[in-house]
Every structure is written in structure tokens, then in C-alpha cells.
Amino acid sequence: MYNLIQLSNGLRVVLEKIDYVNSISVGLWVKNGSRNESKENNGISHFIEHMLFKGTDNRNSKEIAECIEDVGGQLNAFTGKEATCYYIKILDTHLELALDVISDMLFNSNFTEEDIEKEKGVVIEEINMDEDSPEDVLVDLHNEAIWGEDPIALPILGTIDTVKSFTRQQIIDYVDSHYIPENCVVSIAGKFNENEIVNLIESYFGEWKVNNKEITHYSKPPMLTNHLFKKKKIEQLHISLGLPGVEIGSEDAYALLLLNNILGGGASSLLFQKIREEKGRCYSIYSYLSSFNNTGVVTIYTGLNPKYAVEVINLIKEEIIKFSNSTISKERLIKGKEQLKGSYILGLESTSSRMFNNGKSVLFLNRINKPGDIIKKIDNIDNDKIKKVMDITFKQGIINSAYVGQDIDLDLIKILVEKDRIPFNNSSTTLI
């Protein structure tokens, strides 16, 4: 049973009742992430996520964690490019406790100077940890190659300099303007009394009103053709290649997922079989999709010995060209659909995954993606849809790229990547 309601203050609430479980997942979704920031305050969304756990007027940081863990629950949060989510999974008998804790963190956090300075050190260590991971460095570098100066390219964690610069007043002002009912969704999935839950939510969130509102709107950034390299003294060269994707909520998303699974989605994929199994040139190679508001990208990742870089990029290009000019057989199409349906349904086996699915859908699309509707969309994928999606994604070829490691001839690789590709504007090569 699904229900989507809106409180008088603009807060949307999505409910999914699941009678056969004894747990409930509660999530507060905020349409705010690094894409809402500037170079000057980059990382503030992620920093605020940390600060909401540091203590309120009613609970210190230990008590926030303790009151949930003492009843066997789990409390956590994450920040992305476009959203921050605070969530609790708990026994259904403790639903009110979950709402009380999340609302307390939202409305009553202290943001003390002492806690802010301590947490700066924690986040800086998180940034340093990411800097030690070439894969994480590669993701941020490739985002810059794809979107350039647009805020969507900014790193989620921010930089050491921006984190050090945050002030208490800056944090409070940002929360006041971005954490507003119109930008938020409360998502609840699990076992609950449907006659009581709306009144319960109203009692904790109904009085939430702010004056300094900043409604979130996102740009439509062009996909650029940059090729960026960052030198690191490591053995492997880490490569990220970008192709056009689709935006969040696109009707083409499921066909693209199907195609991506065939090209680079697993051990049976074309890229894995050719480059790892047949050629033995790498340990890891795969492709994945990233969809955001008004933009999307397909990314191919591999890590390998630098001496194989030119050969492997050539092989990847060959596989993409062959794949984009091929016809998916009836048998492969049926198999691909079953893979998609299986992974989708298995991904909804827990109340938390359902809460995430519903919350994100309502936050960005203002609708509930019901399993039956998704299965119908997957079943409706046909060769016409496949061709259309292939033409706007894989057939466009590799548009941009990023590399982390050493011993690489970037000028040669740029020529190789762009050879025989449909021309794009704004092409540049940068050495960092």
C-alpha cells in the first residue's frame, strides 16, 4: 500500500505499508548536495550532514546514537551531488522514537563552535583518505572533465581549504535557506498503523516553517570533451571513459541499463570477456550509469599497467563500435529483461531499500515508482527502443576521459580517444 501526501507547509510524505515485516525504515530526504554549492562553500552540505549528529538541545552525540542502537536500530546518513538523506531502520514498535530523533537532529542541532572545529578535523581526514584512493581521485577528476565549471562537477567532500573556512553562522544560514519543507521528503516503509501515522508525522514536522527559502533548481550542463590526467606515484593507471547517458527519470533509463549490462555490467559482459578473459590486460573493468537532474553519463572504468593503456583504449573503442552497430537478438533481449527484473526485485527485499527507492523518486520526480510499473517498463523494451537509446549513447563514442597514475602520453591518448568520433565542441587536454 502506497500513499503520497503533502503537509500544509509543503513537506511531501511517501508511505509504503508492508504488513509482513516487523521493521520500519524512516528517511528524511533533502534536495541539497554538492551541486547546490559554489567553489567558495564546496563541501558544506556534507559537513552539515556530519554536524547534525553532533548534538541537539535534547541529546548529545552519544545519546543520539545510543537511543537508536539500544533498541537494535540503525542510524546513518549520506550526502550526494543532489541530495542528503538521514535515515533510521528500527522495529516497528519504535516508529515514534525514529521520528523524534530525526526531527530533533533537524530542528534542534546546536552547531557549537567546539564541535565545528573538531568535525573539521574529521572531514579533512576523510578528504585525505579519499586522496589516498586513486579510484576516488579518478571520479572527482572525471566529473571535472565531464562538466567543467558547472557545480555538478564539484567534489562532495569539498576541499581542505573550504572545510577549514566554514563558520558557525555560515552553516546556520545554509541550513535555514536549504533545509526547507518544499525541498524535502519524509519516506517511510515498513509496518505501521495507517490511521495514526499521518497525525504522528504532522506532530513532528507540521510546524516546520522557514522564511529564507531557496528552492532548488538545477542547470542543464553540456557534456564537455576534456581529457584530464593527475599524476600519482602508483603502479597501476586508473582510467575512466565517459559516454553520453540519460537524466534521472528518463523513459530511456531501463533500455540503457539493459545495454550497459551487456557491454560492461558483469563478468559475462563484452568488455570483461574481451579485455580481461581473452587478452588478460587488466583485473577489473566495468561500466556503470550515473543519472542526475538534466544530465547523465555512462562511465567505463579499468585499472591496468600503464604500458597497456593505448592497446586497451583501442580495444574498448572497438567493442563500443561493434556493440553500437549490432542488433540485440530476441534471446538476448529476453535474458536482459529478466536480469533487470531480477536485480530490481531483489533490491527491494528490505524496508530500507524501499524507503530509499520511494524517497528518491518523490524527491526528484514527485511520483512513486511502483514495482509493477517498473516491471511493465522493462517488459516494454523492444528493438526500436534499443536502437533509439543506442544512437544517443554508445553510438556517440567516448566523449571525455580521466586518468590517475603515471607514465602516460596524454596527447597520444587524446588523439586515440577522439579518432573517428562524432565531433563535439569545447575539446581540451589538461595535465594536472
- Alpha carbon 384 to chain centroid, angstroms: 29
| Phi and psi, residue 239, nearest 5° | -120, 135
Identify whether the C-beta of residue 377 lies closer than 8 Å to the C-beta of residue 341.
Answer: no
- SS3 of residue 211 by DSSP: coil
pLDDT at 429: 37
- The CATH homologous superfamily for domain 226-431 is Metalloenzyme, LuxS/M16 peptidase-like (3.30.830.10)
Domain limits of the chain?
2-205, 226-431
The pTM assigned to this predicted structure is: 0.94
What top-level class would CATH report for the domain 2-205? Answer: alpha beta
pLDDT in tens, the chain (432 residues): 899 999 999 999 999 999 999 999 999 999 999 999 999 999 999 999 999 999 999 999 999 999 999 999 999 999 999 999 999 999 999 999 999 999 999 999 999 999 999 999 999 999 999 999 999 999 999 999 999 999 999 999 999 999 999 999 999 999 999 999 999 999 999 999 999 999 999 999 999 988 877 788 898 999 999 999 999 999 999 999 999 999 999 999 999 999 999 999 999 999 999 999 999 999 999 999 999 999 999 999 999 999 999 999 999 999 999 999 999 999 999 999 999 999 999 888 899 999 999 999 999 999 999 999 999 999 999 999 999 999 999 999 999 999 999 988 888 888 888 876 655 444 333 333
Query: In this structure, which long-range contacts are made by residues 379-386, counting pairs with CB atoms below 8 Å and at least 24 apart in sequence?
Result: 379/337, 381/254, 381/255, 381/258, 381/333, 381/336, 381/337, 382/333, 383/327, 383/328, 383/333, 385/252, 385/255, 386/255, 386/258, 386/259, 386/328, 386/333
pLDDT at 55: 97
pLDDT at 423: 53
Q: Is the dihedral of CA 176, 181, 187, 192 positive or negative?
A: positive
Catalytic residue among 16, 37, 40, 49: 49
Same fold? 2-205, 226-431: yes
pLDDT at 426: 41
Q: Is the dihedral of CA 272, 273, 274, 275 positive or negative?
A: positive
- Alpha carbon 251 to chain centroid, angstroms: 19
Task: Reply yes or no on whether 49 is catalytic.
Answer: yes
